[in-house]
Amino acid sequence: MNVGFVSTRLAGVDGVSLEVAKLVTILREMGHESFYCAGELDPVTPPARLVPEMHFTHPEAKRLHDEAFSTANPPARLFRDLYASADYLRGELEAFVEQYNIDLLISQNANAIPMNIALGVAITELAKRTRIKVICHSHDFYWERTRFINNGIQSLLDEAFPPKLETVRHMVISTLMQQRLYAWRGIPALYMPNIFDYENPPPPPDEYALTFRAELGLNDADLIVLQPTRVIRRKVIEKAIELMRKLNDPRLIFLVTGYEGDEPGGYGTWLKEEAERAGIRYRFIADYIGAERGERNGHRVYTLWDIYPHAHIATYPSDYEGFGNAMLEMIYFRKPFITHTYPVYVADIKSRGIKAVEYHYDLTPDVIAQTRRLIDDAALRDAWVENNYRVATENYSYRVARRVLEEALRRFDDPF
């Protein structure tokens, strides 16, 4: 089949874009071709259609979003504008389907989080009008985010986020989402965890990757504590800063790899102020990170794969994650980590046998002691990372995803 992936963006290193790239590889191995349609695309992608109006930062999409979630009584004009925008985007989707002879659309979070409301409506209307097969692959639902609670478009959200239609099937990335979707909307969904290619371990760092420390002015004695995530509030990066302060170990340097900008506010600036007040060694290195190697602002650019081998340990202090893509990367690169016990970690990761230093909101003296032991005990680190790699291979590998995709396709043959 020709499979079309649709999202607000399919670019960069956010979790959705990374998971889509993995699914493209698996679908190719299954004999299917993949195509992209989104508001932002990387320079190198499968054949694609770029529609800037699909991006959540497009001025019209942002205006509609801000109006919809600022009041419980929006003006009638908002709905007229929403449907006008949705009609335009539906036309673009129809052109995408025709251009690449698409047999199946996979909506990547576009019908789960209403960052671009009109796009979710457009996909729903396309499914209604053309009867094209659609899989909604949802990574996090709007009702899990407090900023979407106050709205005046609930009937529209009920219709399209996600849609309950005869030609639409659903995949979600946690068993908690699976349970809640069925309980609240009566929609059955397959559990498709985040995945990694554990059957093929990463190669050792090459000469380019080995220049990373020198590029940042670090030496071999520096122990890197890696925070490999975007700079957004739900990542609770200030807890990792607190951890560094309490460890009070001059060997450690805290590196934050991700960029800021997906959410309003000055979270990144505040974090840097917190790090200064804590007196820790730290760097925010988003300017050194890219989807591909290259140069930027007079220095080298590295991929996350180049950086992981240099890390000593990693931190994952999020209070909410749809699943935990960065955690799977830590496991793939055999890095031990400290994590907050967010709900999906407890339900779908810890329960499978993953080992980590865990804390629940408070960095107690026991948590600090466990972390110090992890930093200094090479045998413990080795035991944990090998255990984690084995567990992840059994539960979050490409082989697992292939089985879920095969079942999702088979379900189109079942009655709705």
Lowest mean pLDDT: which of 127-136, 140-149, 373-382? 140-149
% of the chain residues with pLDDT over 90: 91
Question: What is the pLDDT at residue 57?
Answer: 95
| Predicted local distance difference test score (pLDDT) of residue 18 | 87
Whole-number pLDDT of residue 394: 97
Domains of the chain: residue spans and CATH = 2-195+398-413 (3.40.50.2000), 209-395 (3.40.50.2000)
- Name the nearest CA neighbour of 291 among 91, 82, 45: 45
d(C-alpha 138, C-alpha 193), whole Å = 11
Q: 31 near 81, Cβ under 8 Å?
A: no
Is the bond preceding residue 43 a cis peptide, omega within 30 degrees?
no
d(CA 261, CA 231): 8
Task: Copy the structure tokens of residue 379.
Answer: 């045998």
Spatial contact of 136 and 86, defined as CB atoms under 8 Å apart: no
- Note whether 121 and 160 are within 8 A (CB): yes
Residue 15 has a pLDDT of 81
Q: Is the pLDDT of residue 228 over 70?
A: yes
Which residue is it, tokens 């993995």?
22
Q: Which of 395, 402, 408, 317 is nearest to 357 (CA)?
A: 317
Output the average pLDDT for the chain: 95
By the 8 A CB rule, do 347 and 174 touch? yes
Helix (H, G, I), strand (E, B) or coil at 262: coil
For 285-341, what is each residue's pLDDT tens digit?
A: 999 998 889 999 999 999 999 999 999 999 999 998 989 989 999 999 999 999 999
pTM given for the model = 0.88
Using the predicted structure, report yes or no on whether residue 175 has a pLDDT greater than 90.
Answer: yes
- How confident is the model over 64-84, as a mean pLDDT? 94
Please say if the pLDDT value at position 6 is more than 70.
yes
Mean pLDDT of the 167-184 span: 96
Q: Please identify which residue in the block is written with the tokens 């080995």.
A: 210
CB 93 within 8 A of CB 124: no
Q: What angle do CA 218, 224, 225 make, to 5 degrees?
A: 150
For the cut 80, the answer to whether the pLDDT of residue 214 exceeds it is yes
Residue 122 has pLDDT above 80, yes or no: yes
Q: Give the per-residue pLDDT at 242.
A: 98
Rounded distance between C-alpha atoms, residue 108 and residue 119, angstroms: 11
pLDDT band at 24 (very low <50, low <70, confident <90, very high): very high
Instruction: Determine the pLDDT at residue 234.
Output: 92
Q: Nearest-5° angle of CA 265, CA 280, CA 376?
A: 125
pLDDT tens digits, residue range 101-116? 999 999 999 999 999 9
Specify the pLDDT at position 416.
59
pLDDT at 1 over 90: yes
> What is the mean pLDDT of the segment spanning 168-183?
96
Instruction: Tell me the backbone φ, ψ of residue 186, rounded to 5 degrees.
Output: 70, 25
Average pLDDT (33-58) is 96
What would the pLDDT profile of 257-281 be if each residue is shown by its tens digit?
988 876 777 999 999 999 999 999 9
